[in-house]
C-alpha cells in the first residue's frame, strides 16, 4: 500500500504514477482513473471524489454496468482462493465475509448467483460500511428491485467504495 499523500502531490503525479496509485479505486477499472487524471488539479480530496463521481455518472447505462461487472462476487471464489485485489480482500475480510457460517456462505452464493442472473452483474455493496448481516439483508432486499432502480443503487455503492479507497491514499485536507 502507498503512504498517504497530500492533494498537492496528487496533482503533480505523472500519468503513469497516478494510474499506479489510483488505478484500483474503482475495482479493476483503471479507465475511470485515466479519465479523471486530466481533470487535475483537484482543489481538495472532496473535489477529486466529485470528479470521479461525475465521470461515472456521465457514463451510459452500459458503461455503468461494465464497471459493476469488474467487481468480484462477495465471499466468492476469488476470496476463497486469494485472487481478489488487495483492496477487495481487505474490505471483504473486514466485513466478516471470509468467516461465514456454512449456511450463510451457501445463502450468499445462491443469492449472488440469482442476483447476477437477474441484473447481469455481481451484487455490489460497500463492504467497508457494512457487516455480513447487513450485506446479506441488502442482497436479499435489492434483488427485488427493478433493473432501472438497481443500477443507480449499485453505482452509488461503487462511489462509496471509491471514496473509502481514496481516503486511505490521500491525506485529508480538513484540519481538526
Q: What is the CATH classification number for the domain harbouring 79?
A: 1.10.3330.10
Mean predicted confidence (pLDDT) in 22-50: 97
Asked whether residue 1 is domain-assigned, the answer is no
Among 66, 96, 115, give the residue marking a domain's end: 66
Instruction: Give backbone dihedrals phi and psi of 44, rounded to 5 degrees, phi first.
Output: -150, 170
Query: What pLDDT score was predicted for residue 135?
Result: 96
Query: What pLDDT score was predicted for residue 79?
Result: 86
Q: Are residues 122 and 157 in the same domain?
A: yes
Burial of 81 (0-12, 13-18, 19+ CB in 10 A): exposed
Query: What pLDDT score was predicted for residue 172?
Result: 82
**Cα 87 off chain centre by:** 9
Asked whether residue 176 is domain-assigned, the answer is no
What single DSSP character describes residue 128? G
Asked whether residue 174 is domain-assigned, the answer is no
CA distance 28 to 80: 18
* Count of structural domains, the chain: 2
3, pLDDT greater than 80 = no
Per mean pLDDT, which range of 2-6, 44-48, 109-113, 154-158 is the poorest? 2-6
Asked whether residue 155 is domain-assigned, the answer is yes
Q: Are residues 84 and 156 in the same domain?
A: yes
Query: What pLDDT score was predicted for residue 174?
Result: 57
Mean pLDDT of all residues belonging to the chain: 94
Give the contacts of 72 (CB within 8 A, at least 6 positions apart). 27, 78, 79, 84, 88, 122
> Could you tell me the maximum CA-CA distance found in the chain, to the nearest angstrom?
50
Confidence of residue 176 (pLDDT cuts 50, 70, 90): very low
Sole residue written with cell 450485506: 135
What single DSSP character describes residue 127? G
Q: Range of 45's domain?
A: 7-66
Asked whether residue 167 is domain-assigned, the answer is no
Query: What pLDDT score was predicted for residue 161?
Result: 98
Of 10, 29, 55, 71, the catalytic one is 71
Q: Are residues 90 and 131 in the same domain?
A: yes
157-173: burial string, b at 16+ Cβ within 10 Å, e else: bbbbbbbbbbeebbeee
64, pLDDT greater than 90 = yes
Q: Which residue has the higher pLDDT, 23 or 80?
A: 23
Query: What pLDDT score was predicted for residue 168?
Result: 96
Instruction: Check if 71 is active-site.
Output: yes
Please give the C-alpha separations between residue 48 and each of 12, 128, 141, in angstroms, as whole numbers: 14, 20, 32
Query: What pLDDT score was predicted for residue 1?
Result: 52
Q: Are residues 98 and 31 in the same domain?
A: no
Mean predicted confidence (pLDDT) in 77-89: 91
CA distance 48 to 63: 20
Q: Are residues 43 and 115 in the same domain?
A: no
Amino acid at each position: 500500500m502507498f503512504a498517504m499523500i497530500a492533494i498537492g502531490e496528487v496533482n503533480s503525479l505523472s500519468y503513469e504514477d497516478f494510474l499506479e496509485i489510483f488505478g484500483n479505486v474503482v475495482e479493476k477499472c483503471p479507465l475511470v482513473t485515466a479519465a479523471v487524471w486530466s481533470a487535475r488539479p483537484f482543489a481538495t480530496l472532496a473535489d477529486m471524489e466529485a470528479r470521479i463521481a461525475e465521470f461515472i455518472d456521465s457514463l451510459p447505462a452500459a458503461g455503468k454496468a461494465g464497471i459493476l461487472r469488474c467487481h468480484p462476487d462477495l465471499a466468492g471464489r476469488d476470496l476463497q482462493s486469494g485472487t481478489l485485489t488487495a483492496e477487495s480482500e481487505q474490505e471483504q475480510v473486514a466485513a466478516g465475509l471470509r468467516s461465514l457460517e456454512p449456511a450463510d456462505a451457501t445463502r450468499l452464493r445462491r443469492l449472488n448467483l440469482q442476483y447476477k442472473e437477474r441484473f447481469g452483474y455481481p451484487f455490489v455493496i460497500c463492504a467497508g460500511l457494512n457487516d455480513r448481516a447487513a450485506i446479506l439483508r441488502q442482497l436479499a432486499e435489492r434483488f427485488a428491485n427493478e433493473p432501472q432502480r438497481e443500477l443507480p443503487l449499485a453505482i452509488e455503492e461503487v462511489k462509496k467504495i471509491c471514496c473509502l479507497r481514496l481516503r486511505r491514499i490521500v491525506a485529508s485536507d480538513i484540519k481538526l
